[in-house]
A and B are shown apart, each in its own frame.
Chain A
Amino acid sequence: MRCPETDNQELLVAYGAGRLGSRETAKLEAHLAECEACRVACAAQATVWKALDGWEAEPLASDFDARLLARIASEEQPGWRRRWREWLRAVAARPAVPAFAALFMVVAGFWLLPRGAPPEPRADAALVREIEIIEATLDDLEMVKELSGGDRGEGARSL
């Protein structure tokens, strides 16, 4: 076989990532037994891989979805807040939906989906908390819009 260290890096990287088939693995390991340069490269690649494995990402802010939904909602229909507040007085959500789906129905789906019977009231602390976050985010967004003369999100539509 060609020496992967000089001629076929792809093989060494795939081996280090454990993404090599069993036949290719066997072939490469046979080569490794005879090739010092490749053994060194493989060991170094394994070190890189393990190091990267150990780099954990940070946990997400718990209001990520609420903030996103508030932004979507504020784009969807500018006049929706009043109606939403009215609806909020009867704080409710459809039962047995994951918190996110419930939230989404509340925030984005409220005025878009055909309105059927009012949903059953449900006491759900997490949902209430999320709704508070959405309220706060909306206040922030409105404040930012006022401060910046409504030019927030410039370039955002350019993709």
Chain B
Amino acid sequence: MKTGVQQTVVGVAALEHDAQLMLRVREGDQASFGLLLEKYRAPVVHFLYRMVQNQAVAEELAQEVFLRVYRSRTSYEPAARFTTWLFRIATHLALNWLRDGKHERLQERLDEEGEGQTVRRDVPDRRPSAEQILLKRVRRDEIRAAIAALPAKQRAAVLMHKYQEMDYAQIAGALGCSESAVKSLLFRAYETLRARLRRLA
């Protein structure tokens, strides 16, 4: 019994910082939610953007992700790493969005909302030459098309592996599948990308 208690204590002490923040959110500390939002707002939006390749949709889905995080605060248990849980929600929403026809409706709404409404964006002040811009755009379009052509689950696996630097276990947690399934998704995806992006070398 004593070891059980000790294990719990050690478990709490070893809890990652994010999980601790989330536990504080569970206790009603909203500033901790602000810290989590501050830390993960951009990674989540960027992940979703690369999944759906539409910034307005990505932001809308990200709003939903953080809304769900906030709503689930009372039932939150740090069973997995916070990022795994967070990206599980994000992946779930992105895959759903890509799967059902709902996205056309959302797209229409966003298009309507977008008209006559200017949103201030924090654009960094860098001015590359026209040639650089063009070259960059061509490359970026190639990459976007190559990623978009991947099956959605492969795409999610690659994006989490590449940009979130998640390991196989975390990606498996986020996708709700086994590690070996993740490896197979990843290697098939990279194989496709290697063939397709070869000319960018």
Contacts of B193 in A (CB 8 A): 48
Instruction: Kindly provide the distance from the CB of B97 to the nearest chain A CB, expressed in whole angstroms.
Output: 11
A68 and B66 form a contact (CB under 8 A): yes
Residues of chain B lying within 8 A (CB to CB) of residue A41: 194
Q: Nearest chain A CB to B121's CB is how many angstroms away?
A: 5
Q: Which among B1-9, B10-18, B76-84, B140-148 touches the partner chain?
A: B140-148
**Would B89 and A159 count as touching, CB distance under 8 A?**
yes
- Beyond A52-B162, A59-B121, A59-B123, whether A64 also contacts B140 by CB under 8 A is no
B136 at the interface (CB under 8 A from A): yes
- Stretch from A25-33, A84-92, A104-112, A115-123 contacting the other chain: A104-112
* Chain A residues in the interface with B (C-beta under 8 A): 9-10, 13, 17, 41, 43-45, 47-52, 54-65, 67-68, 71-72, 75, 98, 100-101, 104-105, 108-109, 112-113, 156-157, 159
Q: How many angstroms between the C-alpha atoms of A54 and B140 in the bound complex?
A: 7
Main DSSP-derived SS at the B contact region: helix
Interface residues of B in 123-148 (CB under 8 A from A): 123-124, 136, 139-140, 142-144, 146-147
Q: Assess whether A57 is in contact with B49, with CB atoms less than 8 Å apart.
A: yes
Name 22 A/B residue pairs within 8 A (Cβ), A-sorted: A9-B183, A9-B187, A10-B187, A47-B201, A51-B143, A51-B146, A54-B139, A54-B140, A57-B42, A57-B45, A59-B122, A59-B123, A60-B45, A61-B119, A61-B121, A62-B119, A64-B41, A64-B62, A64-B63, A67-B63, A72-B70, A159-B72
B82-104 vs A, CB cutoff 8 Å, 1 = contact: the mask equals 00000001001000000000000
Tell me whether A57 and B124 are in contact (CB under 8 A).
Answer: no
Residue B186 lies at the interface, judged by CB distance under 8 Å to chain A: yes
Q: How far is the CB of B14 from chain A (nearest CB, A)?
A: 23
* Contact assessment for B45 and A47 in the assembled complex, using a CB-CB cutoff below 8 Å: no
CB distance B30 to A57 under 8 Å? no
Interface residues of B (CB under 8 A from A): 28, 30-31, 33-34, 37-38, 41-42, 45-46, 49-50, 55, 59, 62-64, 66-68, 70-72, 89, 92, 119-124, 136, 139-140, 142-144, 146-147, 161-163, 183, 186-187, 190-191, 193-195, 197-198, 200-201
Distance from A101 Cβ to chain B, minimum over Cβ atoms (Å): 5
User: Which residues on B sit within 8 Å (CB–CB) of A17?
Assistant: 161-162
- Specify which of A45, A52, A65, A104 is in contact with B31 (CB 8 Å cutoff): A104
Across-interface contacts of A57 in B (CB, < 8 A): 42, 45-46, 49-50
> Given that A9-B187, A47-B194, A62-B120 are contacting pairs, would A52 and B33 also be in contact in the complex, using a CB cutoff of 8 Å?
no
Cβ of B63 and Cβ of A71 under 8 Å apart?
A: yes
| A135, chain B: closest CB distance, angstroms | 15
Q: Which residue of B lies closest to A65 (CB)?
A: B37
Which 8 pairs from chain A and chain B are nearest by CB? A57-B46, A44-B194, A9-B187, A47-B201, A58-B55, A48-B193, A61-B119, A104-B34
